[in-house]
Structure 1
Amino acid sequence: MATHMQDDGARRGSRWRLMTWGGAACLLLLPLVAMQFFPGSGVDWTLSDFVVMGALLSIACGACELVWRSTNTAYRAAAGIAILTGFLTVWVNLAVGMIGSENNPYNLLFAGVLAIAVFGAAFARLQAKGMALAMAAAALAQAAVAGVALVAGWDVVGALFSAAFAAPWLLSAVLFGVAARPQRTQSR
């Protein structure tokens, strides 16, 4: 029975692994296909664009590999949301920028949000309770950066868009909080 459960868990893990890495490969191939079949569509990636995106996807997928080792579903969900939010933050800022264009130096402030999440996670040693605090701090920093953009009179739509990124950081914090709670066992 235990062997069957291990085999089933291994198969489930390999399906997630295949979906994650396969999805990343498809995402990386999309611009290449667009450039071949839809010239002049505005998609004009250079080799360095593909290298950077490949590195970003590899980091995100590699982080997911580490998360799958957790048996706590809430922890896996929280980490997955945090990884996806961090990935999207970098991708959006490199592609078009959250505030103004991708060349707007104000967008560098979002690196601080990512630093809070990453260094907070390292300081928490990836333990759920500390991760909840780190992701809550990232949510607060994300909202603060958006608030500063609004007060400074930068692009209002961009500021509101970046403020929306606080929600998944906060959701991740809540789920890490759930993962930190002791599991109740049923008594017989």
Structure 2
Amino acid sequence: MTLTKSISLVALVTGLLLLIPLTAKLTMANMLWTAEDFVAAGIMLFGAGLTFVLIARLGNNNTYRLAAAAAVGAGLLLVWAQLAVGLVGSEDNPVNLLFGAVLAVAFIGSIAARFQPRGMANAMFAASLTYVVVTLLALFVWPPSPDTAEPQVRLANVLAANGIFAAIWAFSGWMFLRASASSSNQNRHLA
């Protein structure tokens, strides 16, 4: 598929996904999305889709593409969760800004690896480790203040939810590692 067709498909899927909250807004009185929410969601969804298309084109196998999908999905979910409810306490808790370090590690690591599978694996494992460290820092070094924390959210829930996010980054790293192994096996067979 050409790049133009891929971008058009991303735009179409973004539009279709935005029909879900639009339908909810039109049919449910308690749907509180504003025009800015729709624009932000559209930018995030289209940006994630475009990022995936560009990265996936650099890989030469489906394992690489799956790893790229997991990494882009983890990044999208991280940003979405931050904007919607926050990852520690509420979205107003400034300690949540530390999670930007996870995205920075993944992005800078990917650029430094030149999007090669082995380097991408290292970048995603580093992002997963950064996620764990930031979660522990946010919870235990700079705990959320009572005015920014949701009282009904238990520590176990926060740890479990953030553990799932870290696991998605680690899964992406593992898949990039597998893509690296299959790429080197293909190169050996060609030689």
**What TM bracket, shorter-length normalisation?**
0.7 to 0.9
Contact kept? 1:98, 1:162, Cα under 8 Å: yes
For 1:125 and 1:186, locate their aligned partners in 2 and report how far apart those are by CA, in whole Å: 24
- 1:101 alignment partner, SS class: coil
Deviation at 1:68, TM superposition (A): 3.7
Residue 169 (structure 1) aligned with residue 169 (structure 2): yes
Contact kept? 1:149, 1:159, Cα under 8 Å: no
Equivalent of 1:51 in 25, 39, 59: 39
Please show how residues 9-158 of structure 1 align to structure 2 within 5 Å: 10=1, 18=9, 21-40=11-30, 43-69=31-57, 70-152=59-141, 153-154=143-144, 156=155, 157-158=157-158
Of stretches 25-34 and 56-65 in structure 1, the one that deviates more from structure 2 is 25-34
For 2:105 and 2:23, locate their aligned partners in 1 and report how far apart those are by CA, in whole Å: 36
Deviation at 1:119, TM superposition (A): 1.1
For 2:114 and 2:38, locate their aligned partners in 1 and report how far apart those are by CA, in whole Å: 32
For residues 147-166 of structure 1, what are the alpha-carbon distances to aligned partners after superposition, in whole Å with 9 as ceiling and x for unaligned? 22342455512233112211
User: Aligned pair count?
Assistant: 173
TM-score in terms of structure 2 length: 0.80
Contact kept? 2:56, 2:64, Cα under 8 Å: no
Of stretches 146-155 and 115-124 in structure 1, the one that deviates more from structure 2 is 146-155
Identity of aligned residues (%): 38
Show structure 1 runs of 5+ residues with no match. Answer: 1-9
RCO higher in 1 or 2 (8 Å CA, sep ≥ 6)?
A: 2
Letter in 2 for 1:63: T
TM-score in terms of structure 1 length: 0.81
Root-mean-square deviation (CA), in Å? Answer: 2.4
